[in-house]
Amino acid sequence: MGLLIELQQRIPDRWFLRRLVPAALFVVVAAVGAGQLGHRHGGDLGLARERIAALLTWGDGMPAGTGASLVLFAAASVAAAFAVPLASGAVGALAAGAWPWWLMPLSRRVTAWRVRRWAPPQEIAREAVRARAAGRGFRADRLDARRARTGTEEPASPTWAGDRFRETEARIRTETGVEITAEWTRLLLVAPEASRAALSEARDGYDAACEALAWSAAVMLLAAWWWPAAPVGVVLWLASWQALRRAVRVLCGTTEAVLTTLE
């Protein structure tokens, strides 16, 4: 415990709380759940407590291999913490629709599927009104939720976030004549401090949501060796996806507000 307190004093809070602590927790879960419990004892909480207690107990009578285990645990935790930004960067690029060339055939298929499913928000609203008038309240609520997340333009990206980013870029180009992808760095340099802080906070929220998605994928990967990781990973994935949607809305709205104010 003293080591963790000392680390928290020396490591920036954001990195410590958002990366190192989740990485250490993931390593413990992987070591205990996937490494020792497995599928056979996946739900045995008593055995899990015993294994965790064995990992956390050391002192004067420390076994010879415990020190080496602690070093391996620390190394694995730090490695996982440093791998998170790389994984979240890939997740962020995929979420934004910037898929690599070798995924372009899949990107075109997904985009075509989204175009087939797309309907104008006005049409969805009218269908919701008809469903509510017919007494089908649950369907009407689902249609209202769909209308809220449906863009006004036909999908042109394999992802919802990619379409939101492109719509924001188009509105900024129409309102200010600025090509945001080419002018982004210059605009950041001339923006007031409050605007830069707002943009930084919005982007940080997007990065945090991408990191959460990366962690959920890692947890679901553990399900190959420890079945309780599957439901936990699914719940974490759904929560992270909703967080990503909120972060995209905030990032787009903040960017548009800042750039239209500057021009």
Place of tokens 């207690």: 53
Determine whether 136 is exposed, middle or buried from the number of CB atoms within 10 Å of its CB (0-12, 13-18, 19+).
middle
- Indicate the domain borders of the chain: 2-55+66-118+154-262
Cα 128 to the center of its chain, rounded Å: 31
pTM of the model: 0.81
Q: What is the pLDDT along the chain (263 residues), one digit of tens a residue?
A: 444 444 445 555 566 677 888 888 888 788 776 666 655 655 656 665 666 666 655 544 445 555 566 667 777 777 888 888 888 889 999 999 889 999 999 999 999 999 999 988 899 989 988 998 888 889 888 888 888 888 888 899 999 999 999 998 888 888 888 888 777 777 778 888 888 888 888 988 999 999 999 999 998 988 888 888 888 889 999 999 999 999 999 999 998 888 877 76
User: Tokens representing 223?
Assistant: 């399900």
Tell me how crowded residue 186 is: count the other CB atoms within 10 A of its CB: 10
Q: Give the max Cα distance, the chain.
A: 74
Query: HSE-up of 157 (CA within 13 Å, CB side)?
Result: 18
From residue 102, give the alpha-carbon distance in Å to each of 13, 88, 98: 38, 19, 12
- How far apart CA 110 and CA 163 sit, in angstroms, is 13
Nearest C-alpha neighbor of 51 from the set 29, 22, 25, 71: 29
Nearest C-alpha neighbor of 124 from the set 104, 107, 141, 103: 141
